[in-house]
Amino acid sequence: MNDHAIADDAFTTELVALVPQIRAFARSLCNDAVHGEDLAQEAFAKALAARASFEMGTNMRAWAFMIVRNLFYSETRRSWRSVAMEPDFAERALVVSENPTARLELDEVRRAMALLPDVQREALILIGAAGLSYEEVGEISGVAVGTVKSRVSRARTALAAILAGGKIPEDDEAPESAMAAILGDVERCRTGVRQAA
């Protein structure tokens, strides 16, 4: 096997290992499990096709998330005339918990996070739920580390106020799918943080 084939194998192996994160990020960007899966598949195919543009040894996760993010925003710009489809409730993942109150509380946090401005929600998800560093989030979003820190701080403050206020609107998501939805947000956000302030 020549060096080029070895490099291609290493690239493919590293990219495949990121599939769960890519799927979760795509789902969180779309806020729809079915649409998120489609976005993740399209991003994975695009990443494979763009293999030549990736330099081994650099941050593949940030590179892959940027692809997802760019696809999401391109699609959003193209689909402004489209009517949103209802999510496929049959495909929602269930999360088992011994404490039913914890499941309801997590769902409340998920719904409260949806009220945050997009850039704040994404920064909070990437730092808090995904465990990325401020530097990684800055690289993904194309902003300075200080901007990321500011977004996270404002998001935490706003989220605390929303939860304390207790006026969190209901939605069609089942409380059992709250963890899956948050993990989906993690992956969606890893592929690209919105650029607005």
Residues 36, 30: Cα–Cα separation, whole Å:
5
Residues 81, 62: Cα–Cα separation, whole Å:
30
Tell me the per-residue pLDDT of 101-111, one tens digit each, with 9 for 90 and over: 777 787 788 88
**Structure-model confidence comparison of residues 113 and 7, the more confident one:** 113
| Fold of the domain spanning 95-175 | Arc Repressor Mutant, subunit A (1.10.10)
State residue 157's pLDDT score: 92
Residues 157, 39: Cα–Cα separation, whole Å:
31
Question: What pTM does this model have?
Answer: 0.48
| Fold of the domain spanning 3-78 | Rna Polymerase Sigma Factor; Chain: A (1.10.1740)
Q: Where in the chain is the domain with CATH 1.10.1740.10?
A: 3-78
> What is the chain's length?
197
Kindly tell me if the per-residue pLDDT of 194 is higher than 70: no
